[in-house]
Amino acid sequence: MTRPDIDGAAGLDEFIATVRELEASSAQLLSRAGDVEALAEAKRDSLGKRSKLAGLNAVLGKLSAEQRREAGAVLNEARSRLEELASARSVELESAERSRRAEAERVDLTEVLARPSGAPLGAFDRRRGHLNLVTQTRDELEDVFVSMGFAVAEGPEAETDWYNFEALNMPPAHPARGMWDTLYLKLGEPETVLLRTHTSPVQIRLMEAKQLPIYAVMPGRCYRRDTPDARHLPVFHQIEGLVVDKGITFGDMAGTIEEFTSAFFGEGMHSRLRPSFFPFTEPSAEFEVTCPICGGSGCRTCSGSGWIELGGCGMVDPNVFEAVGIDPEVYSGFAFGFGIDRLAQVRQGLPDMRALLDNDIRFLTQF
């Protein structure tokens, strides 16, 4: 860039006129800059060390002391107006740049959903999402039980000690409470309100309503103080079953579970019961189903046994009937409960349950 050619002339008016001209042309240059790089260049040309404006500093020295004061002030003011203009333009350009980038990087999830295999190209490219595998499994379980004559009921996820423990034959400080890693809520007296550790409290709510007989399943979310790993989630789902009627036997329970197993898993799949303990049933059992991975011949998933444990069950304990005011001399019943996430895991052969929560679209679209 060449020096301004006012050397020698040095008149104050001429100096001021040159400053004004330079300010006007620089202002135009700065405000026309279309992006951040162009602005940096315009700034260098208008205000940089080798700019015409900077060249005027040298000219100042040739003016008289009095003229120099006025000329210096004019020059400085012009310079700071241009600097302000440059930084305002910079803010504008950066924000435009940000929106441009956000727009370019925006991910439209409906665009990345895979086309189901066999669908014609383009037909499903903007397919809507679908229910999570756990929700699909819950819906399917409900359908199977409804077809067997059961009703579907629900209860709250925040429960009182009475419903989650006490009415289920676990009085305060009962050691069996240790089977559940309970999360208490800061509500009321300490350790009186909690996130339910199982769906069994809904049994109590149904029995208290005393609309007998009861044939119901109760699906829902449960919470335990568990560290997530391949087979545990601190927030998970269970489905509870309850039958209360006159003359209900252990045989009815075994038959119902067997019926459910073949209806849900398909022909050739069976169930078996093994003695166990739960405070709210007597006798209690664990129920197992044919391992769906190997069909019963033994594999890694079932540790070679051919069976997979699904949940617990048993005959409703007379103490539970007494807690809700049902006469155990007149009525009897059975209950069962198992994990829905675990069931989905076993049925689909998922190595790690945490995949259900990862929201990885490549995983989710497989179901």
Binding stretches for ligand DAH (CB under 6 A): 198, 200, 240, 278, 281, 311-314, 335-337
What's the one-letter identity of residue 353? M
In whole angstroms, how close is the CB of 192 to ligand DAH at the nearest point?
A: 20
CB of residue 298 vs ligand DAH: minimum separation in angstroms? 26
Phi, psi (5° rounding) for residue 339?
-85, 130
To which residue do tokens 């279309």 refer?
34
Give me the helices (H) in 149-214, please: 161-164, 200-209
Residues 218 and 206: their CA atoms lie apart, in Å, by 10
Q: Please, which residues bridge with residue 272 across strands?
A: 288
CB of 286 to ligand DAH, least distance (A): 8
What the block records as the tokens of 12 is 């104050």
DSSP-based three-state secondary structure for 7 = coil
Q: How far is the CB of 223 from ligand DAH (least distance, A)?
A: 11
Are 257 and 273 a contacting pair, CB within 8 Å? Answer: yes
Contacts of 61 (CB under 8 A, 6+ apart): 68
Nearer to ligand DAH (CB atom), residue 75 or residue 313: 313
Q: Which amino acid belongs to residue 4?
A: P
Instruction: Of 74, 55, 73, give the one whose Cα is nearest residue 17.
Output: 74
Minimum distance from residue 346 beta carbon to ligand DAH (Å): 16
Nearer to ligand DAH, 55 or 220 (CB): 220
Instruction: Tell me whether residue 292 or residue 337 sits nearer to ligand DAH (CB atom).
Output: 337
Minimal distance in Å, beta carbon 242 to ligand DAH? 7
The residue type found at 117 is S
DSSP structure class, residue 221: E
CB closer to ligand DAH out of 184 and 363: 184
What is the Cα–Cα distance from 234 to 217, expressed in whole angstroms? 22
| Residue placing its CB nearer to ligand DAH in the complex, 296 or 333 | 333
Nearer to ligand DAH, 22 or 244 (CB): 244
Instruction: Give Cα 281 to chain centroid, integer Å.
Output: 36
Nearer of residues 23 and 317 to ligand DAH, judged by Cβ: 317
Contact 341, 231 (CB under 8 A): no
Minimum CB distance to ligand DAH smaller for 250 or for 367: 250
| Three-state DSSP string of 256-324 | HHHHHHHHHHCCCCCEEEEEEEECCEEEEEEEEEECCCCCCCCCCCCCCCCEEEEEEEEEECHHHHHHH
Coil vs helix vs strand at 198: coil
**Least separation, in Å, of the C-beta of 125 and ligand DAH?**
43
| Shortest spacing between CB 198 and ligand DAH, in angstroms | 3
Q: Shortest gap between Cβ of 207 and ligand DAH (angstroms)?
A: 12
Return the residue matching tokens 């999570």: 132
Which one, 18 or 182, has the nearer CB to ligand DAH? Answer: 182
